[in-house]
Structure 1
Amino acid sequence: MTLNVKGIHIPDSRMAQQATELVRDTESELLFNHSSRVYYWGALAGQQRGVVVDHELLYIGCMFHDMGLTHDHCSCDKRFEVDGANAARDFLRQHQISQADIDKVWTAIALHTTPGIPEFMDPVIALVTAGVEMDVLGINYAGYSDEEREAVVAAHPRTPQFKEDIIEAFYQGVKDKPQTTFGNVKADVIADKQPGFDKGNFCSIIRASRWPS
């Protein structure tokens, strides 16, 4: 039986079941449990905000948001967020989901590491980011009760060293394509693991452009 927290549970649909199986078979246990928690935090954040959201689409967005960190879905030249968004898009197409809904999920995954924008968009987009921010950064931690946090973590455990483990997972997923992290929080991950890493500088790029002034 799936966890039920304040009426929030994993959608009972064939598509959701297949998504669960695919992500569990593709991601590490660390990332699978993280993605599962992200769904609960995101859905509970929707309750807190009083917004109506399609929980099935939200679940797909949350479960696929880190698929771009995996070997199976990692490209050599795209941001990992785009790789994950593309994986979700291909999955949703197999289930005859409308293009408008596919676009919502794609955008939710593509923007989940871009703070300050998703919160003003469709609830699917906003709540994927809210769930990620809660699980990784602890944003709005106090907005969840002890009982809610304990129930979700009991069902989908955090490792004893989750903070360092998730940073390492991020690093392993992007270290071979550092050029994709420019202007992205993942540049901080590479810099943390490789102290000599040059993250690039937006102002330097402007000044070095071919424009004469």
Structure 2
Amino acid sequence: MSTSLHEATHDAAAVAIDGETIPDSKMARQLRELVRDTETELLFNHSTRVYLFGALTGKRLNLKFDPELLYVGAMFHDMGLTERYQSSQNRFEVDSANAARDFLRGYQIPETEVETVWDAISLHTTPGIPEHKKPEVALLTSGVEMDVMGLAYTQFSEAQRDAVVTAYPRGNSFKNDIIRAFYDGMKHRPDSTFGTVNDDVLAHCDPNFKRADFCKIIMQSRWPT
């Protein structure tokens, strides 16, 4: 394994893990600046780890993917949780995907590639679908699942895990902090969490939260039978 950590900074050029590096094109650099200015350090570090775990998964599975598209998806995937979207009633994933779409269109990225990133972000909290779509979509979700829930934890070597977390630290209370960040970004739009893992967050943090019940919605509809 090749691990290079020249300085304890978030300089993309300083990190190479098993040959996987963070994109460093002009677009990628401007993306990092935008995300740093918009998100908390918690979300910035999480998003970067999501990219690295996703890219390492792609390498392990021998998948052909576009690193820049995966990187844009990873860095934008939680943008909808930020203060910029406090007034929105959309699912936060949709706000995140829309922000990524606007960013990519500013660089004249082909619409088919923009759509891939939009799908990757919008589907990352909907289990069972992303793994059947394009590699960038599947790998974004796998990166999120690894960093947040530890899924496929043992499929990464200890050296890989340590290198990622050394470069972009989790801190001493990431589990509680990320749940709180999710809650703070969704508590004002509880109806948007229906049908995803997000209603678990509201139920965990708010004892007064009432989950929507799909079967009750069916039974109480205006249809006579």
Which category of TM-score, normalised to the shorter sequence, fits these structures? Answer: over 0.9
SS, match of residue 169 in structure 2: coil
TM-score, normalised via structure 1 length: 0.98
Give 1:77 shift.
Answer: 1.6
Q: 1:189 aligns with which of 190, 201, 223?
A: 201
Name the structure 2 match of 1:146: 158
Cα distance in 2 for partners of 1:75, 1:65 equals 18
Superposed CA deviations along residues 71-123 of structure 1, whole A, max 9, x for unmatched, are: 11345220000000000000000000000000000000000001111001100
Cα distance in 2 for partners of 1:77, 1:160 equals 32
Stretch deviating more after TM superposition (96-105 or 7-16):
7-16
Name the structure 2 match of 1:11: 23
Superposed CA deviations along residues 157-207 of structure 1, whole A, max 9, x for unmatched, are: 001010000000000000001010111111111111111211110000001
Q: 2:64 aligns with which of 52, 55, 76?
A: 52
Give 1:48 shift.
Answer: 1.2
Superposed CA deviations along residues 19-72 of structure 1, whole A, max 9, x for unmatched, are: 111011100000000000000000000011110100000000000000000011
Name the structure 1 match of 2:99: 87
Name the structure 1 match of 2:214: 202
Partners of 1:73 and 1:83 within 8 A in 2: yes
Cα distance in 2 for partners of 1:203, 1:71 equals 34
Cα distance in 1 for partners of 2:86, 2:106 equals 20
Q: 1:63 aligns with which of 75, 86, 100?
A: 75
Cα distance in 2 for partners of 1:91, 1:76 equals 19
Name the structure 1 match of 2:125: 113
What 5-or-longer segments of structure 2 have no aligned partner?
Answer: 1-12
Name the structure 1 match of 2:174: 162
List structure 1 runs of 4+ shifted beyond 4 angstroms. Answer: none
Cα distance in 1 for partners of 2:206, 2:115 equals 35
Q: 1:42 aligns with which of 54, 57, 73?
A: 54
Aligned length: 213
Cα distance in 1 for partners of 2:188, 2:51 equals 28
Name the structure 2 match of 1:128: 140
Name the structure 2 match of 1:21: 33
Cα distance in 1 for partners of 2:87, 2:127 equals 24
